[in-house]
Amino acid sequence: MKTPKEALDALNERDFVKDNCIEELAIFQLLVDKATPIKPEILKACFQQEEPYKLLYKKGRCNCGSTVWSAHNNFCPKCGQALDWEK
Ligand SMILES: [Zn+2]
């Protein structure tokens, strides 16, 4: 099965769709962008106070400027952007 991005790319390759569905493609592009995880700017990483000093959570900033916490969500609660907290 195609990913949403692959489906959008396939639609963009069809001249009829590209020429007649400009607004719909822009909406689809927005959804694909929101669903494609971005790495938030990491502001702080909080670790356990004792051994083994495991990472508890990261505090970051989404592209929209909202503060986000890895312990709480993989999506920005403000704009819905998917977030990738991996290194
Ligand atoms: Zn956001």
Which pLDDT tens digit goes with each residue over 75-85?
999 999 999 99
| Residue where the block lists tokens 């106070």 | 49
CA distances from 63 to 6, 27, 34, 35, 78 (A): 24, 19, 11, 13, 11
Cα 86 to averaged position of ligand 1 atoms, centre (Å): 17
Cα 63 to averaged position of ligand 1 atoms, centre (Å): 6
pLDDT class for 86, splitting at 50, 70, 90?
confident
- Is the pLDDT at 19 greater than 80? The verdict is yes
Cα 79 to averaged position of ligand 1 atoms, centre (Å): 4
**Residue 3, token pair as written in the block:** 């990913």
Residues with CB under 5 A from ligand 1 (ion): 62, 64, 66, 76, 78-79, 81
Report the interhelical angle of 22-35 vs 4-12 (nearest 10°): 150
